[in-house]
Amino acid sequence: MSKTISIIQQKGGVGKTTLAVNLAYYFAKQQNLRVAMADADPQGSLTVMKDFLTGIDLISVEAATAERDPDRYDLTFIDTSPRNDVRLAQIIRFSDFILLPVRPGYLDMMSMRDSETIIANNQKMPYRAAIVFTQVQHRNRVGEEAKELIKERFSIPAMEPSLGMRVAYQRSFYSEGVYNSDDLKAREEIESVAVELFRMMQ
């Protein structure tokens, strides 16, 4: 197995890097898979944290999208920027699966439109992609309404598991993901998203 998964959303701060890093750590540390990450964000949050990444190789986007290397990596995660730069189309075409983190809110829904168009231009239906709701605040009616609208309006399926708004995710960059945190809910969320990702990738 050698799969490439890209995290894409045309909006800043929704949690792309957080989702990418936590899934990468989950598969590397919990599942003992060989995991690489590539940073397609010119601002380079991942590149900045290169020294913190343990047990995960940081490779170039060029290497990540040149060919799959089953001898080296089981999984490669490509983190992208909220801008539609030249590499995004190539990344989408190369990837086995795309995750689209979205906060359940109206403004974030607008960015989904742009992301869906870019995916539609570079993949055939049914899309190898899924929406992941992030920074979900419980007992928030606006959030629940936005979730329903997003599910209705877009042709990309939304995953059932989601990530809540949790301090553990804010800390996770420096602590091998929520894997090492004592926030059990955050660990369960990442595991559920990971399991669902594998199910959908089949």
Ligand X SMILES: Nc1ncnc2c1ncn2[C@@H]1O[C@H](COP(=O)(O)OP(=O)(O)OP(=O)(O)O)[C@@H](O)[C@H]1O
Q: Which is nearer to ligand X, 60 or 170 (CB)?
A: 170
Helix, strand, or coil (residue 91): helix
| Out of 11, 16, 103, 147, the residue judged to bind Mg ion by CB under 5 A | 16
Q: Does 178 bind ligand X (CB under 6 A)?
A: no
Strand-pair partners of 39: 79
Q: Does 22 bind ligand X (CB under 6 A)?
A: no
Q: Does 134 bind ligand X (CB under 6 A)?
A: yes
| Out of 17, 115, 134, 162, the residue judged to bind Mg ion by CB under 5 A | 17
- What are the DSSP calls for 28-50, one per residue? IIIS---EEEEE--TT-HHHHTG
Edge-to-edge strand ranges of the sheet holding 3-7? 57-59, 35-39, 75-79, 3-7, 97-102, 129-133
To ligand X, the closest distance from the beta carbon of 90 in angstroms equals 19
Helix, strand, or coil (residue 58): strand
| Out of 159, 165, 194, 200, the residue judged to bind ligand X by CB under 6 A | 165
Do 72 and 36 form a contact (C-beta atoms < 8 A)?
A: yes
Q: Please give the structure tokens belonging to residue 145.
A: 């309404």
Among ligand X, Mg ion, none, partner that 15 touches (CB below 5 to 8 angstroms by kind): ligand X
- Rounded distance between C-alpha atoms, residue 202 and residue 189, angstroms: 20
Q: Which is nearer to ligand X, 134 or 181 (CB)?
A: 134
Size of the site for ligand X (CB under 6 A): 18
- Rounded distance between C-alpha atoms, residue 31 and residue 52, angstroms: 20
Binding positions for ligand X, 52-111, rule CB under 6 A: 81-82
- Interacting residue ranges for Mg ion, rule: CB under 5 A: 16-17, 45
- Interacting residue ranges for ligand X, rule: CB under 6 A: 12-18, 41, 45, 81-82, 134-135, 163, 165-166, 169-170
